[in-house]
Structures are given as structure tokens and as C-alpha cells.
Homo-oligomer: A and B are copies of this chain.
Amino acid sequence: MSLTVNLNITPLNTHFNPKPKTHKTPTFLTTPIYHSNKLTHKNPTFLTHHTHKKMTSSHVIKSSLIDPDGGVLVDLIVPEDQRGLKCVEAEGMVKVGLTKIDLEWVHVVSEGWASPLKGFMREDEYLQSLHFGSLRIDGCRVNMSLPIVLAIDDETKERIGGDKDVALVGPDSNTVAILRSIEIYKHNKEERIARTWGTTAPGLPYVEEVITPAGNWLIGGDLEVLSPIKYNDGLDSYRLSPKQLREEFDRRQADAVFAFQLRNPVHNGHALLMNDTRKRLLDLGYKNPILLLHPLGGYTKADDVPLDVRMEQHSKVLEDGVLDPETTIVSIFPSPMHYAGPTEVQWHAKARINAGANFYIVGRDPAGMGHPTEKRDLYDPDHGKKVLSMAPGLEKLNILPFRVAAYDTVAKEMAFFDPSRAKDFLFISGTKMRSFARTGESPPNGFMCPGGWDVLVKYYASLQAAPSVVSA
């Protein structure tokens, strides 16, 4: 198995050309690294073709496994024939600078992951998100647990004055989007942090890197994105939009799609539960359940494994046959990570509804981390799945709670934990796994497929070889 993915999605010219990522790209990665997602190699025109088929065949029902929130998938990319005019118009507007992470949010919103949200939140949406984890839209309630907001400083607010529209400019100074019918309101950082994370303790990664340095105002409005956001990091072709994913699920004639959100390498415990989930869905009578293995591709904290390394690791997991490429789609979820536990897991699930997944796997302590100042988990490890199962707007999604997997020292493989023989099981945390890989120590046989493990070992070796670059 060594198929290069060719999505055959015509790259659109874009003003956006982000700088290379600042973490060290391991030297052994020179070409696109993910080889197992056989999306289109047999039919390079499937997307267009399928769009046509949808209107004439029974396949039309497939992309309605689950409706996007609000009924219609939001698409904020300006059509090509209007792009020139809009760019000219934007040049006449006050410019508002975006950080790298702001731009990730523009990407997320532009493709409809946050449907029915059509831009950065105005105050009404922001308050509903903070207080209710959801928005009331036309009498219905959709989930919206994270505030998706854009901060500006006093000087920018002053420059905007009474203008109604502004132009958004990426970190490379290219104009990326127009924000229409803007509303500027106070950025009460303390309240935002407290209500999003349930703590204001210092040391929350997203807070320290994004919120604390941000301005004291938030600017909401409707986005018009001048061209699709690209990162030019060799991974853009794996960044399928919700529309593209829905089309692919149709093409594969999926009758169930189960999403697995992750920001870590896949070990055999993860694989066990994904394969077990597929089995359970088949037992329930589904004929063709498709796994959406959906690594998060936006901002992650410094000690997480970088996206490109994870993508290569995931490709090895499929090459080694731990997951079945025929029934798996690997794609990148472009959202930044908050590490906000039960609040954030709702966002992770909601975004996958918009991408067409009708089943969502949730594990222990999703989107959690250690408390930044106390020696304990920040969140109760069970709260994520409990909150998810009760969240407004997620009623239509099937939540599949995780059975805990651990290393069975008797069977010498990852297995579902059996409390009746607890002493036979070894729990290997993410921290422990990273420590193994860093020191070159092998984890127990059967913990992870050898090809996947090698990717991690090489990554950590490259870090140690070039510490000054890493810390840059």
C-alpha cells in the first residue's frame, strides 16, 4: 500500500501563503506523507460526477445521513467570478490583522464546520455560546459551545471608527476576507476564560497563547472569504471540507459514518475501539459503516506531537493493516485546540455533524489535560461524555461512549479493560508514551504497530538532534 492521495480538487489561487510552521519538521519527511486514503485514484472526477448523480439517483439520500446544523451547510468562499471585484472592494476597507490562529478560525468558519455560523460571533451569539453552549436559530437550538470570536485592540477599534465592513489580513499581509455588518463589543477575558474552561488558573495553553495577548474588543460580522485557506505544508490535500467529506461518504455509499477525533498518535487501543465500533454497527444492521479518522490540524500545545508527524504515523497504522483503508477516511479537521474538556468536546462533535458523521466516539477525558496549577486532571474524566450526551443541539447525533482499553499483559495486546483482573492491565498514558519514544525505549509489544512507533521515535530523535530549532 503506497498510494499517493490525489483529491483532484483544483487548487484555487489564494492570497494566503502562510509561513512555515515554527516547530522542527523532521528531516525524513520530504513528500506528502499520508498514503492510505484511497479517495479518488480510481475516478479523478468523482466530485463533479457525483454532484450530478445526486440529482438523478437514489444516492441523493446519502448525504442526509445527518443534516448540517441549521439545515444548510455554510460555505463562505466567494465564487471565483466575484473574487476580483471583492478584492478591489476589500482594498478600500480598514484592514484588521489576523494571527495564525485567527486564520485557522477563518478556515473553519468558511467551510461550514461551525454551520449555521456565518462569521465571527456578534455579542448575542457570543453570550449564548458562553451561557448556553448553544444558539437559538429560527426557533431551533444548535450546539455552539466554544466562542468563535475575533479580538482587536484599541488602536484597531479606533481605526475602524463607524465603518460597517472591514478587510481581514493574514499574518503574511495578504487580504483574506471581508467581515460585513460588523459589531464591536467588549472582550471580557476573565469571564470568557472562566465560562469556557471552568477555571482561571494560569497556564491554560490557548489562554496564554491566544487570549491573554489579544485585544480588549471583539469584532463580529459576516465573513466573505476571498479564496480557500491553504497552508502549503504538503497536507492541504488532506484538509477535506465538510462538503467534500459528505460527497465522499456518498461516493462510498456509507450508511453510517462514525467519527474519531484525535490529536495524538493512534495506538492499538484506539484501533481496537474503532474496529469494535464498526463491528457493533454491523451487528446493528448497518451494511457499510465508514470510519472518519479525523486528526485535529489547528493549534496544539507545544508538547503535543505535530500534525505532519501524526499524519505519517496514521498512514503507517493503515499501511500496517491495523485499520482497514477500505472503510476508513483520514482527513484533517482544521480547528485549533482549546483543551477545554467537556465544553470543547461538544464543538468537536458538532463540527463532525456538519461533516456528515452521524456517530461520534467519545472516550475518557476528551479534550482534557492536567490542571495547570494543581496535581489532578482539570476535568472529571467522565464529564466529557456525560455533557456530550446531554448537550443541546446534539440530540440527533449518536454518541458512542468509549470502553477503556489498556495493555493486557497476559494476552500481550491492547484489550478492553476487565476490572475482574485489573492487575493484568497496564495503562500507558500519552505522557508515558512520549517518554518511551523520547528515550528510545520500546513500549510493550502490541501497544502500537511497529511502523507507527518508528515515526514517533524518529520524530523525538530529530528533536534531540536539533534542540535549538525546536525552541525557536
Binding site for B on A (CB under 8 A): 123-124, 127-128, 130-134, 136, 141, 145, 186, 188, 190-191, 194-195, 197-201, 342-343, 379-380, 383, 386-387, 390-392
Contact = CB atoms under 8 A, between A and B. Distances in A.
B190 A131 contact: no
A128 B199 CA distance: 17
A407 B132 CA distance: 37
A133 B199 CA distance: 18
Contacts of A379: 191
Given A194-B199, A200-B200, A342-B127, A132 B380 contact: no
24 contacts: A123-B386, A124-B386, A127-B342, A127-B386, A128-B390, A130-B198, A131-B342, A132-B133, A132-B134, A132-B390, A132-B392, A136-B390, A136-B392, A141-B392, A186-B380, A188-B198, A190-B198, A191-B379, A194-B194, A194-B199, A194-B200, A195-B198, A200-B200, A392-B392
Nearest to A188: B380
A464 B422 CA distance: 67
Contact of A132 (B191, B199, B200, B391): B391
A127 B198 CA distance: 12
Nearest to A192: B198
**How many monomers of this chain does the complex have?**
2
A392 B379 CA distance: 25
A159 to B, nearest CB: 24
Contact of A392 (B127, B130, B134, B343): B134
A197 B198 CA distance: 10
A137 to B, nearest CB: 11
Contacts of A201: 190
7 smallest beta-carbon distances between A and B, as pairs: A191-B198, A194-B194, A194-B198, A200-B200, A195-B198, A132-B133, A128-B390
A396 to B, nearest CB: 12
A201 B201 CA distance: 11
A472 to B, nearest CB: 34
Contacts of A186: 380
A123 B386 CA distance: 9
A391 B133 CA distance: 11
A200 B190 CA distance: 9
Nearest to A139: B395
A362 to B, nearest CB: 14
A201 B194 CA distance: 10
A139 B123 CA distance: 28
Contacts of A130: 198
A199 B379 CA distance: 17
A392 B129 CA distance: 12
Given A141-B392, A188-B380, A380-B186, A127 B194 contact: no
Contact of A383 (B127, B133, B190, B392): B127
A391 B128 CA distance: 8
Contacts of A191: 198-199, 379
Contacts of A390: 124, 127-128, 132, 136
A164 to B, nearest CB: 21
A25 B131 CA distance: 39
Q: Which of A145, A188, A191 has the most CB of B within 10 A?
A: A191
A364 B191 CA distance: 19
A76 B386 CA distance: 28
Contacts of A343: 131
Given A123-B386, A191-B199, 4 more contacts: A130-B198, A134-B392, A141-B392, A194-B194
Contacts of A386: 123-124, 127
Nearest to A193: B194
A338 to B, nearest CB: 14
B133 A131 contact: yes
